[in-house]
Each structure stands twice: as C-alpha cells, then as structure tokens.
Structure 1
Amino acid sequence: MSEPQRIVIIGGGLAGAGAAAALRERGYPGEVLLFGADAHRPYELPALSKGLLIGDAEEPDWVRDQNFYTEHDVALHLGTRVTRIELGARLVLDAAGGEHRYDRLLLATGSKPRSLPVRGADLTGIHTLRTLDDALALRAAFAKADRVVIVGSGWIGSEAAAAARKHGAEVTVVGMETTPLESVLGPEVGGVFRDLHTEQGVRWRLGTSVADFVGDEGAVTGVRLTDGSVLEADVVLVAVGAAPETGLAHAAGLDLSEDGGVCVDAFLRTAAPDIYAAGDVASQFHPKYDRRIRVEHWANAKNQGEHAAANMLGDHEPYQRAPYFFSDQYDLGCEYRGLANLDTDRLVVRGDLAGREFLAFWLNENRVTAAMNVNIWDSGDALKHLVDTGTPVTDDQLLQGDLSAIA
C-alpha cells in the first residue's frame, strides 16, 4: 500500500477527530481534511448526559485543545455538511459547492437520535439529546421544569432522569421494557437501576409506549400513553435509541448491514477501494464474535478511529477490542465490558446487589462474555482480562476467588 497524499475524514466527532490526531501522531505528512456538520470543534459525548446535563461541567470533554488542529495542519471544516461521495472520481462534495479529492476516506458520520412518528412530535418542549447544543438546551429546560417525562429507559434516558431530578423536577420515565436497561443487563441487574431511581423519586411507566403528545399553543403539555392515560409534562426527552448516519454511504452505493450500519471487514474497510468506516456508523465483522456488531459507545468511537487511521497508513491489523462503556447515575458508577447474549448467557453476581456494590458476570460455557463492576473500582483489569481471553472459570472462582490470579 502506497502512502496516501490526502486523507479525508467525514465526521467531526470522537472517531473522526481521533483518527485525524492519530494520523499526525504516527508521523503522517500528507493532507488531512476533517469535515464536521457541528459548528463546535470535536468533542466527546459522555458528558452531555452526565456532568454537563447535571450542571457539574460547563463544557464537554474536547477531543483536542483549540490550537491542536492548526498546529498539526489538520484542515478543520466545521459547520460543513458533506452532500455526496463520488467513488469513481474519488471526490467528496460539500454543501458549499466544494470538491475535495481523496486517496483514503474515513466515514465517521456517527448516529442521530430516533424520533417518535406520532402526533404532536413537533411541539416545542420536546427534546432529543445528541449534540452539545442539545445538552445545553435540555439543561436549561430541566432547570425551569416542574414535570419532566422521559421516553426511553435505556442509558441516555436513565442518566437524563438522574440529571432532571438533580435540577428538582418531578420525573416520570416511560419505557416499553418491564425493567429499565433490561435489553442490556437483564431484569435482575436492571432492577438495581430501577430501585435506585425510585429511591430518588423517579416514577416509572414501564411496559407501555407513547400514543401521542398533547400540546397547547404549540408547546407540549403532556404525553398520552397507549393505555389512554396522560402524563403532564413541561419538558419531554425522547431517548429511544439512535440510528446510524448512513445517507452518504447509501447514496454512494456502499453496502449496509441489517443493523443499519455501513459494512466493514475486520480491518474497518468497506468493500469500496480505500474507504473505511469507524464509530457508531460502522457495522464491523468482529473476529472475537465471528459476526457483525455495531457499537455506539464512547470507547468504540475512540479506539476504532485510531485503529482505522493506522490501517489507512498501511497497518493490516484486525480490530478486536471488546465493547466497553461506563455510566454515572446519582451515587452509582459502573463499567461494562464485553457483549452478553441475555438469551443464552447466565448471570453470576459477586457482592451486594441491594447495596449497589457488586460485580456481575455473564457466562457462556463457563467463559465470561461480559462483566460489570458497580461501585467497585479495583477489579477493572481483572474483568477486562476475563472478557478478552475467555479463560474458563468456575462459579466459585468468580464468587470467592482472587480474580486477578485467574490466568
């Protein structure tokens, strides 16, 4: 593989900006063009639903400081929407009419919040949370709200519920699952989060969904559920997941997967010559799992962006990291590593579920497929080792043994 003269990156989030930084850190001397639709310089997303939304932080975590891009000769095109990719001509076209040739191209377009296709969805006071501006607007709304309804009982919905309670609002969470986070953690561990929020005053309307939104003079006043009941609301957050931003890829004729992402191989390459994808938008054939997976968490965006940069410069290494994410809600902090199949994996818990200090392991054939630490911070390396290596273990080892000694 000859060294490219120009690398174009579409997407100004963590994956794209991390890739640009990694190119320079590896000594790449050619041109680097980074296009981001957001007007802000690249930032990380976790703080948007945590410290920034609560009010503990005034800024997100920036991927690099203000001067990095100029000092490292990264052409940063902020507030610039790419409209088309021409594969044959190796061109990227932007909304201002610019045409930009590429030798290698990285798609890091991320994802966008899913909306609810119901009546009243366009009322003011209904929010989604994906960008810095979204987070600032939602924080201001929480600070003034008496009644907040959050639609969605996943990670964003749960963290936002904690933030809204910190601001003093009454909070009701609506979710289709019977337990919050059930699709990721199962009912037993998900129940820990349900009880935590209940203790903090959050009300739950689970096992139901939204029929429509109720409004007055263009502003939301309530959420009507499918059972006919109406929840009064000054502010509504719709947090029902995200969809990968694949419009450019689809229009260019790139293959999309059943999970909605852009198909890439183990090396993060698409089927089109010299085009890679990383982060939320990438549906990767993962060697560890022997199938395609698409991961929307912070660590995946960070690590895949850097990995794609290396492979664009001639490395030929498969991306094999297991998924990782973290969450903070009230006084609960947790980390999750791996990828459990709740239909087949069994749960082993070490510690105190009720006291919210425990380790949770999901096992398949006595191998740890995923592990989670909750308010326990000295076991991260051991849990990572168990997940990464698939070392056979017994329940007794997990429940009572020295986890760091399991080889």
Structure 2
Amino acid sequence: MTSRPVAAGLDVERALGGAVSELAAALRGDARPADGGASLAGTLAEHALTESVRGCAVCVIDGTEAVRVVGVAGRTGVLTAGSVWELAASPVLEVLAGGERLHRVEPSASALGQALGVAESGELVGAALRVDEDDAEGPRPVGALLLVRDRPAPLADDESAFIEDYTSLAALALHSSRHTGSQVASEAMLSFLNLVVHDLRAPLTVLSGYVDLLRAGTFGEGPKAWEKPLEMIAAKVGETHRLVDDILLAARLESGAVPLSIETLDLNDVIARAAVRSEARAGLAAATIETKRSPQSVLASADRFQVDRIVDNLINNAINYGGHSPWIRLSVDDAQPPAIRVEDRGVGISPELHSRIFDRFFRVDNRIPGTGFGLHVGRVLAEACGGSLRVERSVPGEGSVFRLDLPTAAAPN
C-alpha cells in the first residue's frame, strides 16, 4: 500500500480521537448502558485522544443496536439512535459477517455519511469490535465501528494500523461498561490511579510550596501587583489538589478500599471549619459565605475527614453554580437525624434532574467548569458514614438547598 503524508494519517487519528472522547461522554451521559457505564472505560477513552476534524466521521455501535457515540466532521455529539441505526444496520451486519479486521463496505457511504455530517462520502470502512473471554470458544463480537471518509483513496498502512488499535480500545471500553463489578478491573483502575495521583501530587506540592514562599517574601519583597495573581495561583493549586484526591477517592470507593474513622462530631464546629477553609476560593469568586449555628451542640457520629470533604464539595458546587457574586449559607439542623444544610441562590436545578445530579460525571451545565465528581463522591461518602445526601429544595433561577443527614451520636455523660 502506498505511503501517504503524516498529516493525512492524522486526519483519521483525530477523527477517531473525537469518537473516543464521545465514547467516554456516552458512557457517563444519556446514552450510557442501564448499569451506569464504567468509569474505567470512560477514563481510558477520554484520555486517549481529544478531537474530531473535517473529512471523517465515526460511529461506534454496541450489541444492543444503540448508537453509543458519534464523532462528526467539525463537531461532536450523540445523534438520534434511530435514524443512524436504520442507515447503519446493513453495514454493521456486513462488517460482523466479514472475516477480515478491516472491511470495506458496499454500497457507497453517501447516505450514512450525510447523516453523520460528511458532505461527500467516498468510502465506508468497518471493523468488528470483539473481545476474548475465558468461557468462549473465540473472540465474541460486542459491537461494530464504522468510519466514513470523504476521500476514496486507500488507507495507508499507518492509518489501518491505527484503526485496528482503536477498535481494540473501543471493544474493551464497551465490554468493560458491562462488567463494572469486575474485581480485576477495579483493582487495575485503583493501581493505575494510585500511580497517577502520586505523580501529580509531587509537582503540585512543589508548586504550592513556592507560591507560599513568594507570598511570604522569602525571595524578596515582590511588587504589589503580584498579590492577586499569587492568591489565584494558590487557590487553583488547591482546587487541583482536591480534584486529584477526589479522582482517587472515587476509585477507592468503588473497590471498597476507603477506611472510615467514626467519631463524635459537633456539626456547629464542622460548618465553622468549612467556612474558614473556603475563604480563599470564596474571595476569588467574590462569594459570601454565612454560617447559622444551632444554639446548642448538635452531635453526629461520622468520619470527620470525610464529612469535611462532603461539605467542601457542596460549597464548591454552590460557588460554581452561584452566578455572579455567589451567596451561600451553611446551617445546622438540630433534627433527627442531625443535618447540615448548604443553601445557595444560584441557577437552581430542574426537578427531573434532582436524582441525576449525584450520578458520576453528570453536570447540570457543561459551560461551567467542573468534573461531575463532587456530588457523586459526596453522596457515596455520606452513605458510607451511615447518612445521606439529597436535594432538599431547588428551583431553576432561585437556587438550591442540599441536605447532609448524619447518624445521631450519643450525648456525653
């Protein structure tokens, strides 16, 4: 096969990259499997490649006849499954029936290409997504990949090799999404994330240390104009550190590897500490954080560190979605069970989304920075402590109230 310029090969690589990114989104979004998808699959896919380009379109179709992901020329997004499936059904069957790794599908790709956004479709290439299983006689198909190209020129060797590599990744991702309870996958993910977090923490610690030294004037007094930028850098380093910790914590929670140290907490002290910890972040966002303590001690039984993390995540969420100059109030409810309430006057949440906002990776508004980890981690930690985290009230345009209920602690003698 004739060699082609590297740039041409990158067209295919980037288009497939868009599909990988959309696969991650599909596994954590509306098009995910009924079991919620797999964080391992989503993580692997999302970080493999990142963009789609003009001239190519990719769709990955799983064994349930659902269009999981579409990467389209110039844009990305999950298309309506019905319309695409009607056009893709015949090519998919042809691909699955074919014996070769890459199969050029007949007839032409024009109809499917137009549905996927490729104006002039010259070629349709397909590959079966297969996985090896111990109890199967051979590789089992779990779906198919279709690549629509706007040029009929043959694939170069490097392009063919890349597509074959990607089909292996896509097959593993789809297969893993149906086996989220696999202990092997959980242990592998936890080991991998432990290594990643260790490698990320080291430079973050160094960066944080140097920022503190600069702010303290250790290297000499800096210009007055440096104060605000250094404050912002320090806050962002802290945010990144918390994000890294949340990623590892989410993996540990899935594998049941988070030890808890249960003790008696005064919830008045919990909200007071949280307000102090949030001062830097609140200052950057021009946010106001108020606390409303109970007149008497309100005792709960939980892990101090994890409760602090839950409240911090709720405050960060309120700042992110609080609009201009967010207002947040932390209060203690002397009820049974005792509770902490976090109230804001932000964008609010539609009623139909109240249950979904605690899903892993789910975000109300993708235009607002965030990962979709915070509320999910908060609910799982609350339940691990024997409590619960829920939306007490939320109205679009008026704000939200989140309620953290915790087990009642015995009063001291």
Q: Identify the TM-score tier after normalising by the shorter chain.
A: under 0.3
TM-score (norm 1): 0.24
TM-score (norm 2): 0.23
Structure having the higher strand fraction is 1
* Structure having the higher Rg: 2
Quick one: higher RCO (CA 8 Å, sep 6+), 1 or 2?
1
Structure having the higher helix fraction is 2
